[in-house]
Amino acid sequence: MLAMSKKVKIVKGSGGFGGPLVIGVNGKKDKVMYVTGGHKPAIVDKICEITGATAVNGFETSVPEDEIMVAVIDCGGTLRCGIYPQKGIPTVNIMATGKSGPLRQYITEEIYVSNVDVDQVSVAGEEEGAEEPSETVQQTSSEETEKETETEQKSTYSKDKKIMETRAEQENKSLLTKIGLGAGKVINTFYQAARDAVETMLHTVIPFMGFVALLIGIIQGSGIGDLFANIMSPLAGNIWGLMAIGLICSLPFLSPLLGPGGVIGQVLGTLIGVEIGKGNIPPNLALPALFAINTQNAADFIPVGLGLAEAETKTIEVGVPSVLYSRFLNGVPRVFVAWLASFGLYK
Binding to another protein (CB under 8 A): which residues in 257-296? 261-262, 265-279, 281, 283, 286-287, 289-291, 293-294
112 binds another protein (CB under 8 A): no
CB of 228 to another protein, least distance (A): 13
Question: Among 15-23, 54-62, 169-177, 325-333, which window interacts with another protein (CB under 8 A)?
Answer: 325-333
CB of 145 to another protein, least distance (A): 23
Under 8 Å between Cβ of 101 and 81: yes
Q: Which of 58, 78, 152, 256 binds another protein (CB under 8 A)?
A: 78
Nearer to another protein, 115 or 255 (CB): 255
Helix (H) or strand (E) holding 221: helix 206-222
What is the residue type of 217? G
Under 8 Å between Cβ of 216 and 224: no
Site string for another protein, 162-201 (x = CB under 8 A): ------------------------x--xx-xxx-xxx-xx
Helix (H) or strand (E) holding 243: helix 239-250
CB of 311 to another protein, least distance (A): 5
The closest alpha carbon to 285, from 344, 230, 228, 339, belongs to 339
326 binds another protein (CB under 8 A): yes
Alpha-carbon span 93 to 112, nearest angstrom: 8
Nearer to another protein, 19 or 58 (CB): 58
Helix (H) or strand (E) holding 340: helix 313-341
CB of 100 to another protein, least distance (A): 8
27 binds another protein (CB under 8 A): no
The yes-or-no answer on residue 75 being catalytic is yes
Nearer to another protein, 240 or 325 (CB): 325
Stretch 43-62 residues interacting with another protein (CB under 8 A):
none
Under 8 Å between Cβ of 19 and 112: yes
Q: Where are the alpha helices (DSSP H) in 52-205?
A: 80-86, 133-151, 163-169, 175-200
234 binds another protein (CB under 8 A): no
Q: Which of 214, 226, 230, 240 binds another protein (CB under 8 A)?
A: 214
DSSP letter for 115, please: S
Cα angle 34, 38, 41; round to 5: 55
Alpha-carbon span 73 to 28, nearest angstrom: 21
Nearer to another protein, 125 or 182 (CB): 182
74 binds another protein (CB under 8 A): no
What is the residue type of 182? G
- Residue of 48, 75, 81, 249 marked active site: 75
CB of 118 to another protein, least distance (A): 29
Stretch 141-160 residues interacting with another protein (CB under 8 A):
none
CB of 300 to another protein, least distance (A): 10
164: Cβ–Cβ under 8 A, 6 or more apart, which residues? 180, 181, 184
The closest alpha carbon to 200, from 267, 84, 105, 107, belongs to 105
105 binds another protein (CB under 8 A): no
CB of 240 to another protein, least distance (A): 18
Q: Residue 138: helix, strand or coil by DSSP? A: helix
Gyration radius (Cα) of the chain, Å: 25
Q: Which of 38, 88, 102, 184 binds another protein (CB under 8 A)?
A: 102
Q: Which residues are catalytic?
A: 75
